[in-house]
Amino acid sequence: MWALHLLRQQSDIEVAALLTTFNQAADRVAMHAVRRELVEAQAQRLNLPLWAVDLPWPCTNQQYEEIMGGVIKRAKAEAFDAVAFGDLFLQDIRDYRERQLSGTGLEPLFPVWDIPTAQLAHDMLAAGVRAKVTCIDATKLDASFAGRDFDEAFLRDLPPGVDPCGENGEFHTFVYASPLFSNPIDIRTGETVTRDGFVFSDVLPNS
């Protein structure tokens, strides 16, 4: 969300679509486990089309790259010239993205790269971004962190060594309110389950 916020402040950039991968079997965002309908609600409030990329489950890296290759071809056919990512500091992931886009004619953009994550977490909250923690790595955080709001209390309670923005995979979130939204998404927290070493807290539309 903050990457989009920063991109929209640049007069020479027009953001024309959102791109999200989904676990086709679960109909949820890969890893975050956010329901598709909630991502669609985000896109609607941002007034941007959503490119939903369905991935098989399980999905090998070869399958992933083949599917994303098709997305890159579509982007070029529709006259896009860049793809933006929300990566913060993991150099190996940035290197991978740059390799995958090398020679495609699409420029990789990293608008939040190297912003200190403690500063970023507080800046997002101060700006009115609100998010729910949907998934945690149980080896790094207690299960009680799942389903909490990403707020100042959450940040204060994080153990030492846990990144305030979860960049090392400690936790994942769903943004339900933002200054970029036309209106907030009304949500409620559902069942919490543990699976493969991760704790998932289901987020549902409150309707």
pLDDT at 31: 79
Note whether residue 130 is domain-resident. Answer: yes
Average pLDDT over every residue of 64-71:
96
Domain that includes residue 157, residue range = 116-207
Q: For residue 67, what are its two tokens? A: 């599917």
Average pLDDT over every residue of 141-160:
97
Note whether residue 155 is domain-resident. Answer: yes
196: phi then psi, degrees, rounded to nearest 5: 55, 40
Residue type, 153: A
pLDDT at 81: 96
Can you tell me the distance from the alpha carbon of 205 to that of 187, in angstroms, rounded to the nearest whole number?
4
Whether 47 contacts 38, CB under 8 Å:
no
Average pLDDT over every residue of 148-175:
98
Average pLDDT over every residue of 34-59:
97
pLDDT at 30: 84
Note whether residue 176 is domain-resident. Answer: yes
**Mean pLDDT of all residues in the chain?**
96
Q: For residue 118, what are its two tokens? A: 């403690």
Note whether residue 13 is domain-resident. Answer: no
What percent of the chain is predicted at pLDDT more than 70?
Answer: 100
pLDDT at 207 over 80: no
Looking up tokens 């995958």 gives 100
pLDDT at 7: 97
Average pLDDT over every residue of 59-71:
96
pLDDT at 32: 86
Q: Count H helices and E strands in the chain, helices first.
A: 6, 10
Average pLDDT over every residue of 51-67:
96
Whether 56 contacts 25, CB under 8 Å:
yes
Note whether residue 174 is domain-resident. Answer: yes
Note whether residue 32 is domain-resident. Answer: no
Whether 167 contacts 117, CB under 8 Å:
yes
For the stretch 77-123, pLDDT in tens is 999 999 999 999 999 999 999 999 999 999 999 999 999 999 999 99
Note whether residue 24 is domain-resident. Answer: no
Give the side-chain half-sphere CA count within 13 A for 157.
Answer: 13
Q: Could you give the number of structural domains in the chain?
A: 1
Note whether residue 66 is domain-resident. Answer: no
Name the pTM for this structure.
0.95
